[in-house]
Chain A
Amino acid sequence: MLGRGVKRKWSCLEEAEVVSEARQLVLGLCLEKLQRYQAGVELSLRRSVLLINTLRQIQEEMRSDGVGSCDVHPDSCLLRDDFREDVTVTCPGCSEGESPPELPSQEANGSDQQKPPAAVSDAVNAMGYLGDLALDDIFEDIDTSMYETSDLPSAWASGSLPQSHSTAGSLQSCLMDLNELDHIMEILVVETHLVGPGLQNGFSL
């Protein structure tokens, strides 16, 4: 979200996006290749090891870049299951084969969307939830006098982000307001969760 502070250079953003996209592509390919498996033919150990190492490298990079939640476990279970020496005799399809191939696909789906930071997503969800209720009833005790100079609260109450407006107020003040709105939004979300659905009135900031 836009916030106070330094505006990032466009080229940095662009580069980061490209790298991130490339990373996602290679990650997807890695998983696809690890899953691909020809019945009755032994996988090349060299190929599997190289794929898993690449996967680990990407995970490391993603972790260190702070893109949190794509925790795809490297398919080392592929190594374990296929290449155990003292193999206990099991019929194909029993025990070993079931979960490892499944895991990557689930997690791959999960990692396909770039997950936004947790607080924002919760807020977005909450906003959607709140939008259905009669907001005016909930907030009738709130002193909204400091927001009367702009039409931001109404936009906010209707569940959408403030649109750009042509009031004389500078962009700077608008940004500051938005920042405080975020803050309030978070508190409201928290309070709402605490209060629970069904209670229409009865709290103040």
Chain B
Amino acid sequence: MGEDTDATPTLNHRGFLPDHNYVTEADIISTVEFNHTGELLATGDKGGRVVIFQREPESKTEPFSQGEYNVYSTFQSHEPEFDYLKSLEIEEKINKIRWLPQQNAAHFLLSTNDKTIKLWKVSERDKRPEGYNLKDEEGRIKDISTVTSLQVPVLKPMDLMVEVSPRRVFANAHTYHVNSISVNSDYETYMSADDLRINLWHLDITDRSFNIVDIKPVNMEDLTEVITAAEFHPHHCNLFVYSSSKGTLRLCDMREAALCDKHSKLFEEPEDPSARSFFSEIISSVSDVKFSHSGRYLLTRDYLTAKVWDLNMESKPLETYQVHDYLRSKLCSLYENDCIFDKFECAWNGSDSVIMTGAYNNFFRMFDRNTKRDVTLEASRESSKPRAVLKPRRVCAAGGKRRKDDISVDSLDFTKKILHTAWHPTENIIAIAATNNLYIFQDKLNSEMH
């Protein structure tokens, strides 16, 4: 893979002083997403804010500062709400952001918290009209008697201003917590999935949605499985996939029926009876599912592994990658401290040849599907000086043979988890969210996808 990644300067999400180890809950990044060209990168946080970064155009004079990401816009997407019926607070935390493909000068993105999805328009203003007849420069109404001639207002350049405005609010359609949103390839519809239901929306219509999946049992006491993630196929607008807490994937075809409770395909790996433990089900729960760019494969993440599935083969995954198998003997402690319920996301690179996912101790892993080589890297201030090359890390089993710089399993910091990662759609640029910090790494040596 030739992994020599350069570290661009760490983008501290909220500008905290580097020598303070202080994290406010509200600043914890909860989602990261590149837009379709990779020019923009959006992050959402626990406090309901969205920050958009824009890549600077490459400059011939300063070749090394090409392609850095700087803050483009910040806005408050969701506010905390109170559900009076249930006496419960609705968190403002942004669970997911998804960009719409760009169709005109403006950019559009969908952001969602547990209950409500919003469509935001992000547009630039770099000109403003000047020379009104009835208003003066400050906007005050002129005294008509002072107007002696008419003039035509002209557009004059101004400092660039980025305006963000809410265009649609899709509310009151989810009883349970929304975990996924996915824009359809028809660019007209999108879906939102909660624990038990998936709804299909038209981007222009906010007062109704269509329920396309419903796994709620008549008697809630019979509930044994929930929906964990869902995504539309990148090319076929009738196909989508959803994953469950029991480790299954279901591919559904909206042409078959209005309610897609019957799957077209069910992807499930038979359980290995020798590996069975109390925690087998919990660790098999799929935390994220992503179609490959080609649409031919599915990438899933469960607690200990990442798996690549071929859409044509339902019986077992094509490839299984061990993310942190050294945790297998620690499952009881991880159950005790609730870490076993952590939901890690996963990502494909642009050419579908490399997959990436996060782990603990601010480590993240990349697996090259062709060469079968893998690497563990760390996202931290200490190891990420600008222009530094990231050093591969290694975790050794407790008491095992230890090389210099290796970390023992017992010294891993389980509070430093990398749950959210994103890969630029065409280049070797990755965005890693480590608690309240955003790291962007670029592979300057191998900027083209292989």
Contact A47 B341 (CB under 8 A): yes
Task: Please indicate the chain A residues that have their CB under 8 angstroms from the CB of B257 in the complex.
Answer: none
Write the chain B residue with the least CB distance to A87.
B85
Task: Please indicate the chain B residues that have their CB under 8 angstroms from the CB of A158 in the complex.
Answer: none
Task: Please indicate the chain A residues that have their CB under 8 angstroms from the CB of B91 in the complex.
Answer: 41
Contact A54 B220 (CB under 8 A): no
Contact A53 B86 (CB under 8 A): no
Contact B226 A49 (CB under 8 A): yes
Between A41, A47, A77, the greatest number of chain B beta carbons within 10 A of the residue's beta carbon is seen for A47
Indicate which residue in B86, B224, B225 contacts A42 across the interface (CB closer than 8 Å). Answer: B86
- Which chain B residues (218-244) contact chain A, with CB distance < 8 Å? 220-221, 223-226, 228
Contact B278 A26 (CB under 8 A): yes
Fill in one digit per residue for A137-179: 1 if any B CB lies within 8 Å of its CB, else 0: 0000000000000000000000000000000000000000000
Contact A29 B335 (CB under 8 A): yes
Min CB–CB distance B93 → chain A (angstroms): 11
CA–CA, A70 and B72, complex, Å: 60
Indicate which residue in A40, A45, A92 contacts B177 across the interface (CB closer than 8 Å). Answer: A45
Contact B282 A54 (CB under 8 A): yes
Per the CB 8 Å criterion, the residue count for chain A at the interface is 30
Fill in one digit per residue for B322-340: 1 if any A CB lies within 8 Å of its CB, else 0: 0000000000100110100
- Which chain B residues (323-371) contact chain A, with CB distance < 8 Å? 332, 335-336, 338, 341
Give the interface of B toward A (CB within 8 A): 85-89, 91, 114, 175-177, 195-196, 220-221, 223-226, 228, 245, 278-279, 281-282, 285, 332, 335-336, 338, 341
Task: Please indicate the chain B residues that have their CB under 8 angstroms from the CB of A26 in the complex.
Answer: 278, 332, 335
Contact B223 A79 (CB under 8 A): yes
Contact A49 B223 (CB under 8 A): yes
Taking the complex as formed, is A44 at the interface, i.e. its CB lies under 8 A from any CB of chain B?
A: yes
Write the chain B residue with the least CB distance to A45.
B195
Q: List 11 A-B contacts (CB under 8 A).
A: A25-B332, A26-B332, A45-B226, A46-B341, A49-B224, A54-B278, A76-B223, A79-B223, A83-B176, A83-B220, A92-B87
Indicate which residue in B85, B177, B245, B278 contacts A57 across the interface (CB closer than 8 Å). Answer: B278
CA–CA, A41 and B225, complex, Å: 22
Given A47-B341, A49-B225, A50-B285: A58 touches B278 (CB 8 Å cut-off): yes
CA–CA, A45 and B223, complex, Å: 10
Contact B85 A89 (CB under 8 A): yes
CA–CA, A77 and B196, complex, Å: 18
Task: Please indicate the chain B residues that have their CB under 8 angstroms from the CB of A23 in the complex.
Answer: 278
Write the chain A residue with the least CB distance to B175.
A85
Indicate which residue in A50, A76, A77 contacts B245 across the interface (CB closer than 8 Å). Answer: A50
Write the chain A residue with the least CB distance to B285.
A50
Write the chain A residue with the least CB distance to B219.
A80
Fill in one digit per residue for A51-62: 1 if any B CB lies within 8 Å of its CB, else 0: 011100110000
Indicate which residue in A25, A47, A76 contacts B220 across the interface (CB closer than 8 Å). Answer: A76
New contact pairs (7) apart from A26-B335, A44-B177, A92-B87, CB-CB < 8 Å: A40-B88, A41-B91, A42-B88, A46-B341, A84-B220, A87-B85, A87-B86
Min CB–CB distance A56 → chain B (angstroms): 8
- Which chain A residues (65-83) contact chain B, with CB distance < 8 Å? 76-77, 79-80, 83
Given A79-B220, A84-B220: A50 touches B88 (CB 8 Å cut-off): no
Contact A50 B177 (CB under 8 A): no
Task: Please indicate the chain B residues that have their CB under 8 angstroms from the CB of A45 in the complex.
Answer: 176-177, 195-196, 226
Task: Please indicate the chain B residues that have their CB under 8 angstroms from the CB of A22 in the complex.
Answer: 278, 332
CA–CA, A22 and B195, complex, Å: 30
Task: Please indicate the chain A residues that have their CB under 8 angstroms from the CB of B176 in the complex.
Answer: 45, 83
Given A57-B278, A92-B87: A46 touches B195 (CB 8 Å cut-off): yes
Indicate which residue in B175, B281, B332 contacts A50 across the interface (CB closer than 8 Å). Answer: B281
In the A-B complex, list the 3 residue pairs whose CB atoms are closest, starting with the nearest. A76-B221, A45-B195, A79-B220
CA–CA, A57 and B282, complex, Å: 12
Task: Please indicate the chain B residues that have their CB under 8 angstroms from the CB of A44 in the complex.
Answer: 177, 341
Write the chain B residue with the least CB distance to A89.
B85
Task: Please indicate the chain B residues that have their CB under 8 angstroms from the CB of A54 in the complex.
Answer: 278-279, 281-282
Task: Please indicate the chain A residues that have their CB under 8 angstroms from the CB of B332 in the complex.
Answer: 22, 25-26
Contact B223 A41 (CB under 8 A): no
Write the chain B residue with the least CB distance to A61.
B278
Given A46-B228, A46-B285, A54-B279: A40 touches B87 (CB 8 Å cut-off): yes
Min CB–CB distance A111 → chain B (angstroms): 16
Task: Please indicate the chain A residues that have their CB under 8 angstroms from the CB of B221 in the complex.
Answer: 76-77, 79-80
CA–CA, A44 and B226, complex, Å: 11
CA–CA, A70 and B335, complex, Å: 22
Write the chain A residue with the least CB distance to B176.
A45
Indicate which residue in A46, A76, A77, A87 contacts B226 across the interface (CB closer than 8 Å). Answer: A46
CA–CA, A57 and B226, complex, Å: 17
Min CB–CB distance B5 → chain A (angstroms): 34
Given A54-B279, A83-B176, A85-B175: A41 touches B220 (CB 8 Å cut-off): no
Contact A40 B89 (CB under 8 A): yes
Contact A41 B89 (CB under 8 A): yes
Write the chain A residue with the least CB distance to B194.
A45
Indicate which residue in A40, A53, A80, A83 contacts B281 across the interface (CB closer than 8 Å). Answer: A53
CA–CA, A25 and B341, complex, Å: 18
